[in-house]
């Protein structure tokens, strides 16, 4: 038995995307008990983000296929909850990934707690340098942190190019200048880049309905949120080429979990500039996940990209937003949870907790994919390129200040098995979570499994 989807959260997200206010009526929900349980309304955040993404996909599909009405969207709490922890369900030949490195965790300081992120070797090295620790020894790191205040550690590690954030309560974060900057911005920011007409996408007449068929997506993202967005676009038929710097390899299991449907290449933006420009010249969408300004030295700001590729859609993702004193800082889901008061709410100021999923990453990833799909729909109608921007911190503000609890339902979750599947790949036998983006006649799985990092040529199919 399905119910009407909760109105406020999905409509809020859909409105932020500039969608037709009549279309959320096309969404139905199967609520389940025992999914994404938390003090904060994580379940409702997940429903709204996935629902908006699926609705944007159905809308674009209807337009390209010439359908009289937008296909119905089906939200199932079980599928959503399973996908929001997809990295935990991945098995590679029966082996489960390791989610966090030993130095990525909460630590006690002289006056409270600090959250570090050291999964990548270069971030780990910078953390140790900032603390004056010569070996990767948790005891030595703990001893060094215990002698300093949380804010002192935060600033010292950031100055060294590492990642550490002091635990804050919601009240402490609300008083922070970055929180004020984030609060002034919409959930999804958008701007027109130029008025040049983009290439028209051909009509669709195949089954399943793949709304992004023929769309070339240049994926310049890492970790979870951005790759979740581009993984979703690949599910919907886009030709997604992920490009990484050859000296910054991605964590293998993380790359596998978010690599379904994509190809992966390496490219030095300085030495291989001609190859990159050839990719850009045929791209429809560029998705970036680096901190604001990090790509500007390569001439990859949104406006510079649009000047070289008229009609381009640029989707930008960051941790803290492209504004405020922390706009240039690196960040990850776990750090944003610590800074914005989420970790204190889910635990306490004396013993921090965490959300049941990296929900800021996954939620923002689906919203980013939705923003790209809506931009493609609007481009088909108006012909202009545009830039969309989202941040984990703005999604966190939505979660902590606006979302209301929704229906729990009478159906029990019963575990993830119904939304997991297996297939062979070049990496081995994979068990993985299916996508929760479901609409009538839409795809249910990716066309191809992930390959290894950097194993594909840097060119379009």
Q: Spell out the per-residue pLDDT of the chain, length 461, in tens.
A: 344 444 489 999 999 999 999 999 999 999 999 999 999 999 999 999 999 999 999 999 999 999 999 999 999 999 999 999 999 999 999 999 877 788 999 999 999 999 999 888 888 999 999 999 988 889 999 999 999 999 999 999 999 999 999 999 999 999 999 999 999 999 999 988 776 666 778 889 888 999 999 999 999 998 899 999 999 999 999 999 999 999 888 888 999 999 999 999 999 988 888 999 999 999 999 999 887 777 777 778 888 888 888 889 999 999 999 999 999 898 999 999 999 999 999 999 999 999 999 999 999 999 999 999 999 999 888 778 899 999 999 999 999 998 888 888 889 898 999 999 999 999 999 999 999 999 999 999 999 999 999 999 999 98
With contact defined as beta carbons under 8 Å apart, do 390 and 188 qualify? yes
What letter would DSSP give residue 211?
A: T
Active-site annotation holder among 205, 361, 384, 417: 361
Q: For residues 122 and 175, give the distance between their C-alpha atoms in angstroms, rounded to a whole number.
A: 32
State how far the Cα of 197 lies from the Cα of 113, in Å rounded to an integer: 52
Beta strands in 296-412 (DSSP E): 313-318, 385-391, 411-412
Nearest by Cα to 332 from 58, 115, 29, 30: 115
**Using the 8-state DSSP alphabet, how is residue 418 labeled?**
G
Residue 2: the pLDDT is: 43
Ramachandran area for residue 415 (φ above 0: left; ψ -120 to 50: alpha; else beta): left
Supply 121's token pair. Answer: 């070797």
- Please report the pLDDT score of residue 152 as a whole number: 95
**The two three-digit tokens of residue 356, written as one number:** 């049941």
Alpha carbons 418 and 83: distance in angstroms, whole number: 12
What's the pLDDT at 403? 87
Q: For position 269, what pLDDT does the model report?
A: 84
Distance from C-alpha of 65 to C-alpha of 112, rounded to nearest angstrom: 57
> Residue 418 is encoded by which pair of tokens?
């119904």
Q: Do 347 and 336 contact (CB within 8 A), yes or no?
A: no
385-391 and 189-194 beta bridge pairing: antiparallel
Q: Which residue has the tokens 């993985």?
A: 432
Residue 239 annotated to the active site:
no
The structure tokens listed for 367 are 């919203």
Residue 92 CA to residue 388 CA, distance in Å, equals 35
Residue 16 has a pLDDT of 96
Whole-number Cα distances in Å, 425 to 261, 416, 428, 431, 451:
12, 22, 5, 10, 7
Name the residue among 423, 453, 419, 421 with its Cα closest to residue 438.
419
Whole-number Å distance between alpha carbons of 202 and 184: 39
* Residue that is written with structure tokens 């297996």 in the block: 422
For the chain, which domains are there? Answer: 3-97+186-323+356-433 (3.40.50.10540)
Distance in angstroms (rounded) separating the CA atoms of residues 62 and 209: 9
DSSP-assigned letters across all residues of 218-269? EEE--TTHHHHHHHHHHHTT-EEEEEE-TTSPPPHHHHHHT-TT-EEEE--T
Reduce the DSSP state of residue 198 to 3 states and report it. Answer: coil
Q: Using CA atoms, how far apart are residues 13 and 52, in angstroms rounded to an integer?
A: 6
Output the six-digit token pair for 99.
């989610």
Task: Measure the CA–CA gap between 179 and 181, rounded to whole angstroms.
Answer: 5
Which tokens is 65 given?
Answer: 């296929």
d(CA 202, CA 64): 7
């Amino acid at each position: 038995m399905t119910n009407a989807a909760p109105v406020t959260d999905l409509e809020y997200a859909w409105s932020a995307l500039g969608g037709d206010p009549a279309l959320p009526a096309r969404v139905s929900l199967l609520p389940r008990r025992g999914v994404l349980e938390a003090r904060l309304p994580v379940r409702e955040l997940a429903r709204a983000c996935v629902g908006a993404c699926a609705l944007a996909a159905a809308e674009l599909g209807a337009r390209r296929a010439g359908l009289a009405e937008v296909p119905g969207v089906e939200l199932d709490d079980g599928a959503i909850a399973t996908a929001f922890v997809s990295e935990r369900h991945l098995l590679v030949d029966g082996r489960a990934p390791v989610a966090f490195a030993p130095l990525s965790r909460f630590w006690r300081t002289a006056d409270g707690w600090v959250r570090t992120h050291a999964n990548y070797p270069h971030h780990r090295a910078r953390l140790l340098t900032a603390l004056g620790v010569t070996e990767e020894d948790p005891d030595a790191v703990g001893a060094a942190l215990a002698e300093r205040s949380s804010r002192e550690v935060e600033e010292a590690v950031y100055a060294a190019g590492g990642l550490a954030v002091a635990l804050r309560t919601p009240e402490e974060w609300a008083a922070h200048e970055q929180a004020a900057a984030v609060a002034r911005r919409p959930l999804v920011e958008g701007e027109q880049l130029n008025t040049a007409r983009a290439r028209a996408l051909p009509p669709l007449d195949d089954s399943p309905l793949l709304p992004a068929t023929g769309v070339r997506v240049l994926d310049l993202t890492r970790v979870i949120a951005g790759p979740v967005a581009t993984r979703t676009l690949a599910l919907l038929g886009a030709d997604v080429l992920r490009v990484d710097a050859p000296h910054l390899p991605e964590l293998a299991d993380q790359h596998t979990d978010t690599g379904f449907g994509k190809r992966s290449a390496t490219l030095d933006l300085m030495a291989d500039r001609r190859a990159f420009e050839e990719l850009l010249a045929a791209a429809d969408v560029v998705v970036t996940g680096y901190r604001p300004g990090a790509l500007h030295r390569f001439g990859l700001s949104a406006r510079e990209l649009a000047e070289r590729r008229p009609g381009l859609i640029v989707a930008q993702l960051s941790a803290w937003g492209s504004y405020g004193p922390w706009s240039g800082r690196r960040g990850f889901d776990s750090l944003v949870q610590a800074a914005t008061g989420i970790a204190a709410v889910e635990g306490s100021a004396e013993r921090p907790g965490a959300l049941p999923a990296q929900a800021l990453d996954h939620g923002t990833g689906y919203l980013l994919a939705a923003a790209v799909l809506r931009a493609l729909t609007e481009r088909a109608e108006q012909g202009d390129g545009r830039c969309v921007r989202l941040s984990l911190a703005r999604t966190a503000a939505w979660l902590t200040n606006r979302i209301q609890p929704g229906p729990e339902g009478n159906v029990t979750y019963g575990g993830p098995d119904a939304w997991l599947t297996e297939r062979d790949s070049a990496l081995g036998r994979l068990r993985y979570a299916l996508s929760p983006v479901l609409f009538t006649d839409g795809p249910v799985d990716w066309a191809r499994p992930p390959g290894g990092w950097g194993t594909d040529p840097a060119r379009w199919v």
